[in-house]
Each structure stands twice: as structure tokens, then as C-alpha cells.
Structure 1
Amino acid sequence: MATLKLIADFHREDQAAVIELFMQTEDPQAHVEAIRSLVSDGAIIQSADADNIRAVYRGVGQDKLISLLDDGWSFTGQPQGGLEGLFVEGGE
């Protein structure tokens, strides 16, 4: 099961940055662990349902953005594990 880890927005408010995140996972255990991990890392959970999590970091610096990118978050919405499985071979 692929997990989508998307950086939905990065912008500045005064001197600090705001990073809005969206995560989608079909694995219930991974979903619970993701919520715990985000909260313990200082994110504010804005909403969560069976498959999706929306969270925001407020008052952070660019180093948090780099950290998220290093942890597999992206601006493209590409599922972790790459693009394999998203395209059918031979189809045009």
C-alpha cells in the first residue's frame, strides 16, 4: 500500500514559516502512527478521517521543510516508493 505524503503549501507569516501537509494511507496502523508522529513532532492536526490526515506546522523555519523533504514528503504528491505501479505497461 502506497502512502501519499504531500506538502500542500509552504509560506511565511512574518518571520516564521507555515507548512501545510496532507497524508493519505490505507493502512490503519500506519495511519495511527503517522498521527502520533506528526503530533510529537509539533504539527497541529487539522483533520483526520479513515484514510487522510491534514496537519500544519506553524512558526517553523526552512530547516523543517528540508527535514520533511528528507523524510519522504514532496510537493508533487508522488506516493512513497516511486511511480511504479501507477502506470500500466503497453497502454497508450
Structure 2
Amino acid sequence: MSYPGSAYIKAICRALECRPQAVYIIDCPLCPEDEQGQMELDPQTKTYWCADCGRDGTLQSLLAIAEGLFVSRHRESMELMERRPRVERGGTRR
């Protein structure tokens, strides 16, 4: 019988009498694009770590970095939304 991955994890933890710890894996935003590593986010310790570039720190500091990257990637569309905050339909203004 085949189980979903979470069922295997629960069964393994039950057999080993331990509690699992959730860790999230994302593409590392700090690695060079041509050498994209995998970053681990640990919600319990509130830290991040990338094995490829070796950077680590708090999730709070990574959030500030991520927000800065988001703004730099979407700067043009954000400026356009600030200048024209609504969509005009049919060529008439309301």
C-alpha cells in the first residue's frame, strides 16, 4: 500500500518515538543566480541557512532582504500603480 509522504513521516516518527521538526526548503535568494543553492528555513529556531553560500541568520533579517529584493524586482510596476491607482474602462472617466 502506498501512503502520502506525510503518512510515512508520521509512521517513522511513531516507530522512533520522536517528534518531527518542520524545515522549509527554498531557492537561496543570496546565492549567485548561476549557482542557485537550497536554503533551509527553520521556524522553530527562527533561523535560515544555506549550505552552498554559507550564509545564515535570523528569519527577521531574511525577511528584510526578501522585501528589498521584491521591491527592486517590481519597482516599475509599483511606480505605475502609484501613479495610476485604478483601471480606466472604456475610455471614460468616472
* TM-score in same-fold range (> 0.5): no
Higher helix share: 2
Higher RCO structure, 1 or 2 (CA under 8 Å, sep 6+)? 1
TM-score normalised by structure 1 residue count: 0.31
Flag the structure with higher strand content.
1
Tell me which structure has the larger Cα radius of gyration. Answer: 2
